[in-house]
């Protein structure tokens, strides 16, 4: 710490804090890759030669809303609950889960969660 005080006293510019990990991307690059092409933060960082932390800082700086990480049940939300219940009655939970390409547990959970809403 004494060295920084000496540099300040000598009138030299002192850089404080951790150095940035990679260049800060431009807003147009972020909008193109992250918003329009819907690429992940890691992919955007690798493409622009920056760190994911720098991407997150730039998103905050440019006030671009970050996407959430949760995508639970998103494939099943396209089916109406009444249609799903009818299909389960007709084919059984195991048969309908096989048809959808998901596990029984996933289907049971989705029906239980959506019934509560």
- What are the sequence ranges of the domains in the chain? 21-69, 76-116
64 within 8 A of 30, measured Cβ to Cβ: yes
pLDDT band per the 50, 70, 90 thresholds, residue 19 = confident
pTM: 0.49
Q: How far is CA 18 from CA 15, 54, 56, 89, 91, in A?
A: 9, 12, 16, 60, 60
Q: Stretch 36-49: mean pLDDT, rounded?
A: 90
How many whole angstroms from its chain centre is CA 53? 13
Q: In this predicted structure, what is the pLDDT of residue 71?
A: 55
pLDDT band per the 50, 70, 90 thresholds, residue 73 = very low
Residue 31's CB is within 10 A of a number of other CB atoms, namely 13
The structure tokens 């300040």 sit at: 8
């Amino acid at each position: 710490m004494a060295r920084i005080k000496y540099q300040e006293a000598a009138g030299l510019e002192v850089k404080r804090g951790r150095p940035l990990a990679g260049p800060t991307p431009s807003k147009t690059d972020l909008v193109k890759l992250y918003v329009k092409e819907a690429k992940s933060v890691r992919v955007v960082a690798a493409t622009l030669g920056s760190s994911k932390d720098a991407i997150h800082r730039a998103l905050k700086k440019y006030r671009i809303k970050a996407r959430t990480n949760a995508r639970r049940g998103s494939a099943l939300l396209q089916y109406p609950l009444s249609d799903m219940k009818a299909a389960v009655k007709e084919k059984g939970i195991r048969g309908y889960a096989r048809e959808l390409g998901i596990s029984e547990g996933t289907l049971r959970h989705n029906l239980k969660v959506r019934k509560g809403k």
